[in-house]
Amino acid sequence: MELFNVLTVQQARQTLSKHVIRREEETVPLLEGLNRVLSRDIVSLEEVPGFDRSTMDGYAVRARDIFGAAESLPAYVNIAGEVIMGREAAGFLEPGQAWAIPTGGMLPAGADAVVMVEYTEELDEKTIGITRPVAPGENVVRRGEDVMAGLTILTAGHRLRPQDLGLLAAVGVTRVPVLMPLKVGILSTGDELTEPNQPVPPGKVRDINSYALYGQVLEAGGMPRLYGIVEDDFDTLRNTMVQALAENDMILISGGSSVGTRDVTARVIDTLGKPGVLFHGMAIKPGKPSIGAMVDGKAVFGLPGHPVSAMVVFNLLARPFIESLDISGDLRKFPLRAVMTRNVHSATGRDDFLRVVLRRGEDGTLLAEPVLGKSGLISTMVKADGVAHLPLNKEGVEAGEWVDVWLF
C-alpha cells in the first residue's frame, strides 16, 4: 500500500490549524446557551455584588470599635438599626453602633465588618456585648468582589458550562452571542455496506460509522446530517459531495477501505475546490489511511472504514473544529492519566491509540487494561472506556508506566 504525503498526527493538526472554517454567529437566550461557543468576549457592565454583603447572621460594625473585645472584656455597642434582607440599608452606622444583619444582607454605610451572632450577648434591647474582635472586611463579600465592572468575564471561543450560565445571569446578560453550530455532512462509502434498517444480504455488513460519527458530531456540539451509503464511483461520489458541501460546513466520508476507493475519494476532493487534499495518510495506528482536506473554506475528512479508526481520527482532526478548540495545541485539555497494567508494544514513528478498560487501584490510581481485538470490531470500542495514547517517539509502554487516556 503506497500512501503519499503521510504526516504525523501533530503535523496533520498543525497543517489543519492554518485553515479556518467560516462560521456565522447568532444570539440566543441564556437558557439555550449551554455547550454553545461564544463568538465574542463578554464584558460585565456591572459589579457583583453591587454592595458590601454579609456572609453571616450577626451584627454589622466598625471593626475598630470592637478592637480587643474578649470573653472577659466584651465590647459594648448600641443596636442602632436592622438590615432587612433584599432592601437598601438606609442610614449610616455611627461609631459605637451595631446593626443587626442577616446572611446576604447589605452592610450600612460606615460598617466594615460583621460579627457572627455566636460572639455576641444581648445586654438589653438596645445594647450587645461582643466577645471577639473582627478584622475589617471579615464576614463580608465586598462590592465587586465576585465581578468587577468593565471586566472581560468570558472570552470568545469559550464553550459555555453550567457555571458560565450562572455568571452571565449574575451580571444580567440574558442573551449571548454564539457561533452557529458547525453543520456536518456524513457519508459512508463501500460496496459492502447496507443500511441498519434492512436485512443483511450475504457478503454485506451494516453501516456502523455513519451512526457512531453522528453521535460524535452531536456530542461535540455540531449538527450532523446523514447522506447514507454512497457508491464507490467517481461521479456518484462527486455528485453527493457537491450536494453535501453546499449544505454543510464539514464533510466526513468514511469507509472505502480498499486502496482503489481511497484514491477515488482523494481525486474527487481535489475537483471540489482549493486547496484540496492537504495530507493523505497519517503515521497513526489505527487510522493510517486518513485524508485531510480544505475546500473553499470548508473541511473534508476521509476517515478509515474501521469503526474504531474512524472514531479516533474524528476526535483528532474533526472534533477540534466543531468545538472551536485550538487544533495545533494539546490533543485534549485534561486527559485522564492512568497506569498501564501490561507491557504494550508500539512502533516508534507513529502515534498509537489503544482501547483500554479503566478501573481504580487500591490507592485510587486509575489503571488502564488493554482491550484486545481488531480495530474493525465496534464491540471493542463499546467494551472500552477510552483510548490510551502511546506517543510518536515511544516504542510502546511498560506495565506501570503512565499514559494519557481519553474517555470515549
Q: Which is nearer to a second copy, 146 or 270 (CB)?
A: 146
Phi, psi of 322 (to 5 degrees): -65, -40
From residue 219 to residue 258, the character string flagging contacts with a second copy as x (rule: CB under 8 A) and all else as - is x------x------------------------------xx
Does residue 211 bind a second copy (CB under 8 A)?
yes
Q: Is 408 in the site for a second copy (CB under 8 A)?
A: yes
Q: Identify the residue among 202, 246, 274, 345 touching a second copy (CB under 8 A).
A: 202
Binding to a second copy in span 16-55, by CB under 8 A: 30-31, 34-35, 46, 48-51, 53, 55
Q: Determine the residue type at 278.
A: L
For residue 125, how far is the Cα from the chain centroid? 56
In contact, 350 and 284? CB cutoff 8 Å: yes
Q: Where are the beta strands (DSSP E) in 125-265?
A: 127-130, 140-141, 152-154, 175-179, 183-189, 193-194, 205-206, 223-230, 250-255
In this complex, which beta carbon is closest to a second copy, that of residue 139 or of residue 324? 139
Least distance between a second copy and beta carbon 236 (Å): 15
**Calpha distance 408→405 (Å, rounded):** 9
Span 151-170, contacts to a second copy by CB under 8 A: 153-154, 160-170
Is 216 a binding residue for a second copy by CB under 8 A? The answer is yes
Give residues 86-125 in contact with a second copy (rule: CB under 8 A).
86-89, 102-106
The dihedrals phi and psi of 233, each to the nearest 5 degrees, come to -115, 135
- In whole angstroms, the minimum distance from the beta carbon of 60 to a second copy comes to 13
Contacts of 239 (CB under 8 A, 6+ apart): none
Provide the 10 A C-beta neighbour count for residue 178: 23
Cα three-residue angle 248-159-211, rounded to 5 degrees: 45
Dihedral of the alpha carbons of 225, 229, 234, 235, in degrees to the nearest 10: -70
Cβ 358 vs Cβ 385: under 8 Å:
yes
Judged by CB under 8 A, does residue 336 bind a second copy?
A: yes
What part of residues 353-382 is at the interface with a second copy (CB under 8 A)? Answer: 358, 360, 363-366, 374, 376-379, 381-382
Tell me whether residue 29 or residue 68 sits nearer to a second copy (CB atom).
29
Interaction with a second copy in 291-330: which residues (CB under 8 A)?
Answer: 305, 307, 311, 330
Residues 264-293 interacting with a second copy (rule: CB under 8 A): none
User: Quick check: 141 binds a second copy (CB under 8 A)?
Assistant: yes
Give the cell for residue 169: 445571569
